[in-house]
């Protein structure tokens, strides 16, 4: 009887923690669903990357590929 009672307590605890975890994931999802990650930056933001317009020969790119180990 004591073993059955401990099994029931463990099952209820596991089920309760699982439900709590599930609803916390739903809450986090709803919280960040409307978060706009890709908005234009505000203030004095600086552009980080630039595009290169230099064209390279395919052989040079191939050698660079093997030299850098990419």
Residue 17 lies in a domain: yes
The per-residue pLDDT for range 25-58, each reduced to its tens digit, is 999 999 888 777 777 777 887 777 766 666 668 8
The pLDDT of residue 59 is above 90: no
* Residue 57 covered by a domain: no
- Domain extent, residue 23, equals 1-32
Q: What is the predicted pLDDT for the residue at 57?
A: 82
How many structural domains are present in the chain? 1
Does residue 12 lie within any of the structural domains?
Answer: yes
Is residue 11 over pLDDT 70?
Answer: yes
> 3-state SS string over 18-62?
HHHHHHHHHHHHHHHHCCCCCCCCCCCCCCCCCCCCCCCCHHHHH
Average pLDDT score over residue span 8-16: 98
| Predicted structure pTM score | 0.49
């Amino acid at each position: 009887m004591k073993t059955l009672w401990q099994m029931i307590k463990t099952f209820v605890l596991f089920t309760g923690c699982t439900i709590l975890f599930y609803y916390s994931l739903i809450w986090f999802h709803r919280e960040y669903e409307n978060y706009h990650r890709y908005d234009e930056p505000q203030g004095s933001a600086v552009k980080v990357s630039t595009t290169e317009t230099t064209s390279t020969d395919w052989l040079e790119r191939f050698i660079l590929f093997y030299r850098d180990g990419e």
